[in-house]
Every structure is written in C-alpha cells, then in structure tokens.
Amino acid sequence: MLRLSRDKHETELDVDEFREILLECIDQGLLVLGESPREAIYYHLEKRNLVRKDEIPEKLEDFIEGLRRIFGPGSSLIEKQIIQELFRKFDVTTEEDCSDLLKSVRFVMKLLASKKSRRPR
C-alpha cells in the first residue's frame, strides 16, 4: 500500500502539500468527464465504502480499484489523464511507461526524494 510519510526527508514537499497537489491532479483528471460525472464518481466511491475524496492520497489503491470497478478497462484513460496532470504539476518527463497511476505516483515521490537528497545542507 502506498504510504505518504510524514518524514520531511522522504519527499521534497511535506505530506500535506503532496496530498493537496495529488488531489488537485485527480480532480483535474476526472474533470475530463465533466463536473457532474466527477462528483458522481466521488459519490459512488464513498457510497460503496471504498474511499472518501479526502482519503484518496492514503488509499490510492482503493481509489484506483473503485475507478476500475466503475469503468472497467476504460479506467486506464482516466488514470492517464491524472498521470498527465501529476507530471505537469511536478514538471516530470520520462521515457518510462507511465500508464499505471500507482506506479506513477511512486515514481514522482522517488523523484522528489532524490531531488531533496541531492540538495546541499
């Protein structure tokens, strides 16, 4: 399970900033479907007791599973939209296959951690 550490040495941003940016990226990625469908997705995820919107960063796997239950294979298009937004926010470019949301979030977190560790103290 993806965990966001509260240890400032692990990420460039503190956990609250990263959570906020991740939620913004998810909001923007879902907005490709429209505002009402986006709200309906959040409603169904919460109603099915999978994940509340504010829990998504800590329960990212549950969020992804919920998207896949709702959209089936079509969820990959939504994941790609979220990934594009995440990479845009953090100015990330990569040759890696970044079609998996969970792997992409982990990739960004590792990138932020490596940038932090390279900074002079």
8: phi then psi, degrees, rounded to nearest 5: -65, -15
Question: Tell me: the pLDDT tens digits for 13-66?
Answer: 577 888 999 999 999 999 999 999 999 999 999 998 889 999 999 999 999 999
Mean pLDDT score across all residues of the chain: 84
Task: Residue 91: give its domain's CATH number.
Answer: 1.10.1200.200
Give a yes or no: residue 32 inside a domain.
yes
95 against 84, higher pLDDT: 84
- Higher-confidence residue of 80 and 120: namely 80
Query: Do 30 and 45 contact (CB within 8 A), yes or no?
Result: no
Number of domains in the chain: 1
For residue 57, the enclosing domain spans 15-114
8 domain residue, yes or no: no
